[in-house]
Structure 1
Amino acid sequence: MKETSPLEIYNEYHDDVQAIFRSRLLTQVLLALGSGSKPLSTLREVTGSSSQALIPKIRQLEALHYVESARGEYALTPIGRIVEPKIERAVTLMGTVQHHREFWIEHEIEGIPPKLLNEIEHLYNTEMVKDVEENIFAVYTVFQTILRKASWIHGVSSIMSPVHVDAIKEAAISSTPIEIVVSEELAKRLTSQYEAVLETLSRPENFKLYVYPSPIRLGMTVTDEYISLGLYRRDTGKYDASTDLVGTDAAAVSWGERLFQHYKADSRPLKIS
């Protein structure tokens, strides 16, 4: 049997699909009930609408068997509990793209592995930090703050500057556990340009360096509390050291740790003589 494409499914059921996304109230009620049953008074409050406006929409959701009334409150049906998380994810994903629209449009996103790219909605609660004329060291200042507050540090990078090396060295000397995955090209530069520093860092057990066999097209630092993500610019093909997404949200930090583990899994330890 031929596999049915999403477009064919949409063409057949577009009325049902559009019934949800066409109406602000239908979507809001579903999203509100995703966290549990609620009385009409709460739905009025979260949607900012009157009972006269809400009740017909609730009846419509009941007719679709997404919502049911139970003990004076409204709740998702078993089918509604299947549908609502998918709507919630689509809304969060679109919100993330729009919230950081400038960042995603101006930068290469291909360096993020497809599985993690498919989860970028976890980065909604991050903020874009950018070097500006009034603060030309904004990104680096945040980087220093992240390292100094960290209980542990995990990083992925294909670029490194003397100031970054100094900041990492300072954190390593303070006994903070550090693991960094670098590209092969960067590993060669580090071993030639920063041989003395690497020799110093290799002595304590808390510092580990790994080499990823393929090019890395991003820069990311994640700690127990922070994530900082930088990408390459689409117009120049060069790493944009002046702009990062930074956040402390637990979901964003967890996303960053999964990104680090993705790169570490296929990397080899760099032995420093």
Structure 2
Amino acid sequence: MKLPLLGTLFLSDKRKDLLLLLIEKPLSIDEIKDILDVTSSSMMTQIKILIDQGIIFYENDLYELSSFGEVIVKKMIPLLNTLRVFADNKEYWENHKINAIPSHLLERIEELGECELVEPDLNRMYELPKKFTDKLNESKFIMEVSSSFSPEYPYKYVDLARKGVRISLIITEPVFERFKTEYFEQLQVYLGIKNTELFVCNETIGLASSVVTDKFFSFALFYKTGMFHNHVMMSFEEKSLIWGEDLFQHFREQSHEVTYM
């Protein structure tokens, strides 16, 4: 069997699309043509290459993955999903501190799926983005990790907690000290509501913030220069919510709870 395969697999979108189709079920050439909207001649060239490589085979008028092909495609899918996460917001990832994300979660970055960069309007640059706050208001629970401070948060979270939203916050020691100094009354009110939790992280939190709710997951990273601007990356995919909860638990294990002031 010839194996100069992986160097050529990603050069052809047609080959990649065909393999992703065949991981679902065997298909005839007519089905492949209809789904991929291609001609027989252009597709047969790609099919021949994959047959020569031992990735697919032809039997009973159907093309299907070989056992070897199934292994390759199952390994290929996470890689393609990872590339898609970075490609969709290439400039963002290039300019921000990706290494702030814990390594075991960075290895699962493909679980974020489709992400959208959300920023506030130009005339409200120091406020939280409206799409973010709108979704926050629709949530039944909120779990946040933050090393940055927004003056809106003390009032926003007290208001939501009073409406019955379950809220768990993990913040850094400097953020906690600012809360105590500048928003002591709001902090006392927050801690007095039964459906709230507050944790102070004993270790460094390298990212600006992450928020996971029953509706969405969002995160914000610092620029490589250390600067930060009001923005969030948002994902609404189910796997991203699990990823966000795992990120919260990572920092929860490094934190101590504050129950009263």
With the length of structure 1 as denominator, give the TM-score of the two structures.
0.87
For 1:163-217, what per-residue CA distance to the aligned partner results, in whole angstroms no more than 9, with x for missing partners? Answer: 1221111111111111111112212222232221121111222100111111212
Q: What is the alpha-carbon distance in structure 1 between the residues aligned to residue 219 and residue 187 of structure 2?
A: 24
Q: Which consecutive unaligned segments of at least 5 residues does structure 2 have?
A: none
Q: Secondary structure at the match of 2:192?
A: coil
2:245 is the alignment partner of 1:257: yes
1:187 paired to 2:176: yes
Identity %, equivalent residues: 22
Tell me the equivalent position of 1:272: 260
Structure 2 SS opposite 1:37? coil
Cα pair distance change 1:119/1:261, threshold 3 Å:
same
Number of residue equivalences? 259
User: SS of the counterpart of 1:252?
Assistant: helix
Residues 1:149 and 2:138 aligned together: yes
Question: Cα–Cα, structure 1 residues 269 and 91, in superposed 2: closer, same or farther, change >3 Å?
Answer: same
Greater mean deviation of Cα atoms: 106-115 or 65-74: 65-74
Gaps of 5+ in 1: 1-12
Give secondary structure in 1 for the equivalent of 2:219: strand
**C-alpha spacing 1:54/1:254, structure 2 compared with 1 (3 Å):** same
Q: Which sits farther off after the overlay, 75-84 or 128-137?
A: 128-137
212, 227, 252: which is aligned to 1:222? 212
Q: Secondary structure at the match of 1:233?
A: coil
What secondary structure, in the 3-state scheme, does the structure 1 residue paired with 2:54 have? coil
- AA of the residue aligned to 1:86: K
1:22 maps onto 2:7 in alignment: no
Q: Contact 2:27/2:62 (CA < 8 Å) preserved in 1?
A: yes
CA distance in 1 between counterparts of 2:126 and 2:36 reads 42
Instruction: Give the deviation of 1:82 after TM superposition.
Output: 0.9
SS of aligned partner of 2:170: strand
Determine the structure 2 residue equivalent to 1:3. Answer: none
Letter in 1 for 2:240: A
Q: What RMSD in Å do the two structures reach over aligned CA positions?
A: 2.1
Alignment TM-score, normalising by the size of structure 2: 0.90
Query: Per the alignment, do residues 16 and 155 of structure 1 end up closer, same or farther by CA in structure 2, a change over 3 Å counting?
Result: same
1-side partners of 2:127 and 2:185: how far apart? 29
Q: Write out per-residue CA displacement over residues 126-157 of structure 1, whole angstroms, 9 at most, x where no aligned residue.
A: 21112342664674322321221101110000
Do the aligned residues in 1 keep the contact of 2:96 with 2:222 (CA within 8 Å)? yes
Q: Which amino acid aligns with 1:228?
A: S
Equivalent-residue separation in structure 1 for 2:194 and 2:62 (angstroms) = 58
Counterpart of 1:156 in 2: which secondary structure? strand
CA distance in 1, matches of 2:90, 2:238: 22
Closer, same or farther: CA 14–68 of 1 in aligned 2, 3 Å: closer
Q: Equivalents in 2 of 1:109, 1:176: separation in Å?
A: 31
Structure 1, 105-114 or 27-36: larger mean CA deviation = 27-36
Which segment is superposed worse, 221-230 or 158-167? 158-167
